[in-house]
Homo-oligomer: A and B are copies of this chain.
């Protein structure tokens, strides 16, 4: 049984690979831009090159590697090892696991990116020692991961965890998924960015805040952390509302799942820190049953990018050993 595994985080903007050793050390970390516009074959070639770099950088060969875990943002068929759909990367029914296995020889296991990140925090990060965990990752969208009874819970089809696509406001704002009023359409950084763009358009936000005009993609988590730091009341109001709505929804999920830990990760909490986290927690406690809320602590994720690498590598390791 090999002691080393590779975790691969295939994101919409960048891809990241790392050799992960026993006790979850990340021995190498290599990175490339994801050229999503170039088509699936070009993305695939970059994946291969990034994997080779990760091996070289760690001084390992394919024979040292037990398995590769691919963390993928999209809909997967885990049994077949195919990427059914990834809107951001252009993969449709792409046999990623088989292609990589033919190329390198090691087994390849696909996992949803948020599940991999939650699992990484569970085995090596902020969620260690808890058995019932609701992972929530607000950023461009709002992803979720569930660990129940100490095991990743993925549902019958492997696609559980989509906490962002539950409706919190009937007939609310349009969501990327086509529904109206999803949590993601109300509380993600994208939703916050739309509010900010409205305030730029009507002249409420000016100066450095307005320099990118109406480019939603330019409104990053840093845009909001800057506003928070400078005490801009308009930006703080946007942050507060998004945090309140996310917390309200997490409170409802507490009533459904009665977890012991709510793990919050992703760009918003990394940049907005305790201010954001405490606001989310306060709304969560106001919305959940008191005795259910009392069972749960709230923690920020601590591993950053490494969570996905470690989680994907470890889940692949366990899948291969099972």
Contacts and interface: CB of A to CB of B under 8 A. Distances in A.
Interface of A: 75, 84, 131-132, 144, 146, 148-149, 151, 153-163, 165-170, 172, 177, 179, 182, 245, 248-249, 251-253, 255-260, 287, 289, 291-292, 295-296
A162 B255 contact: yes
Contact of A75 (B159, B249, B291): B291
Given A155-B257, A155-B295, 4 more contacts: A156-B258, A159-B289, A167-B248, A182-B252
B165 A168 contact: no
12 contacts: A149-B149, A155-B292, A156-B260, A156-B296, A160-B257, A161-B258, A166-B252, A167-B287, A170-B172, A170-B245, A177-B289, A182-B252
A163 B256 contact: yes
A91 to B, nearest CB: 15
Given A166-B255, A256-B162, A256-B253, A291 B245 contact: no
A166 B168 CA distance: 9
A183 to B, nearest CB: 9
Contacts of A289: 75, 159, 162, 165, 177
Contacts of A291: 75, 84, 157, 159
B295 A165 contact: no
Contacts of A257: 146, 153, 155, 160
Given A75-B291, A132-B156, A177-B289, A167 B259 contact: no
Contacts of A245: 170
A14 B237 CA distance: 50
B255 A165 contact: yes
Contacts of A148: 148, 153
A252 B155 contact: no
A259 B155 CA distance: 6
A58 to B, nearest CB: 35
Nearest to A84: B291
Contacts of A295: 155-157, 159
Nearest to A186: B170
Most chain B beta carbons < 10 A, residue from A84, A151, A258, A296: A258
A148 B256 CA distance: 13
A245 to B, nearest CB: 7
Contacts of A296: 156
Contacts of A161: 256, 258
